[in-house]
Amino acid sequence: MCQDQQIGVNMLRIQNFSKSYKNGKKAVDNLSLEVQAGDIYGFIGHNGAGKTTTLRAVVGVLDFEEGEIEIDGISIQKDALYCKKQTAYIPDNPDLYEHLTGIQYLNFIADMYEVTKAEREQLIEKYASAFEILSNLGDLIFSYSHGMRQKLAIISAFIHKPKLLVLDEPFVGLDPKASHTLKCFMAELCKDGSAIFFSTHVLEVAEKLCNKIAIIKGGKLIISGDTETVKGNHSLEDVFMDLIEK
Ligand SMILES: Nc1ncnc2c1ncn2[C@@H]1O[C@H](COP(=O)(O)OP(=O)(O)OP(=O)(O)O)[C@@H](O)[C@H]1O
């Protein structure tokens, strides 16, 4: 069902978020940004800039003391369960249950998110066919290649139609066809009223796919907004290099 009427509603609001690790390292410093329904929001920055730290705080797997994070208008500090139900997260190196088969894993996730039997069957068929792992779903995850694991994690996220999809380096390990398929499904999800916030080092992908971009450097957000505004008449790579080297 098309939910275009939701486009523009805040799905993620990060306000003055800071995170220091126990060793005293301030990984993120006073970061604020908003991701709205319909947005494909790219989060870019050099190695160690603070992207994963931010993403992990957003999805509730990393505690933080400073700032506020709201998902679909609800504070994750106040109602973490509600927020987690609206969200799917694919880390940069998904840790899947190796002793399950692919289909057992997908059913486990579908059960957790209360996806009906009819709907899960239809969506698993759709996504697993598109990612060409339908015939592998009966095999143990233990036997999957890195790319197949990545595809399974992606399918598990899409089958419960999250309002907010958070991805950390989702294109790493995917072959060109699977990357293309993922981009199409990301666009489809956002057209249906969800929002995507993802980190990437692939600036060409960010430039083409994202309607919004944020650049983080040394834990501080240095620019964010509409892709066209962020890049002006330049390529995103030129803008990135310029900002990072300043
Ligand atoms: N568990 C941790 N304990 C201490 N410091 C950490 C921890 N995790 C990350 N850091 C530090 O926080 C900073 C930000 O790391 P983070 O993983 O968020 O960066 P990133 O932008 O995702 O980098 P990359 O592009 O390399 O994945 C880095 O200086 C890193 O060393």
Q: Is the residue at 35 inside a domain? A: yes
Give CA 218 to chain center in angstroms: 21
| Predicted pLDDT of residue 4 | 52
* CB-CB neighbours of 154 under 10 Å: 24
31 lines ligand 1 (CB under 6 A): no
**Ligand 1 center to residue 92 CA distance, Å?**
13
142 lines ligand 1 (CB under 6 A): no
**Ligand 1 center to residue 56 CA distance, Å?**
11
Residue-range definition of the domain harbouring residue 170: 4-93+163-245
Per residue in 222-236, pLDDT tens?
999 999 999 999 999
Q: Is the residue at 53 inside a domain? A: yes
Q: Is the residue at 142 inside a domain? A: no
Q: Is the residue at 230 inside a domain? A: yes
61 lines ligand 1 (CB under 6 A): no
| Average pLDDT of the segment spanning 40-69 | 96
CATH number at residue 231: 3.40.50.300
24 lines ligand 1 (CB under 6 A): no
Q: Is residue 8 over pLDDT 80?
A: no
Q: Is the residue at 98 inside a domain? A: no
Per residue in 126-166, pLDDT tens?
999 999 999 999 999 999 999 999 999 999 999 999 999 99
Q: Is the residue at 104 inside a domain? A: no
Q: Is the residue at 195 inside a domain? A: yes
As a whole number, the mean pLDDT across the chain is 94
52 lines ligand 1 (CB under 6 A): yes
> Considering just the CA atoms, what is the radius of gyration of the chain in Å?
18
Q: Is the residue at 137 inside a domain? A: no
* CB-CB neighbours of 51 under 10 Å: 24
| Average pLDDT of the segment spanning 190-214 | 95
| Predicted pLDDT of residue 2 | 42
- Structurally, how many domains does the chain consist of? 1
- Global pTM reads 0.94
**Ligand 1 center to residue 79 CA distance, Å?**
26
User: Would you place residue 65 in the very low, low, confident or very high pLDDT band (cuts 50, 70, 90)?
Assistant: confident
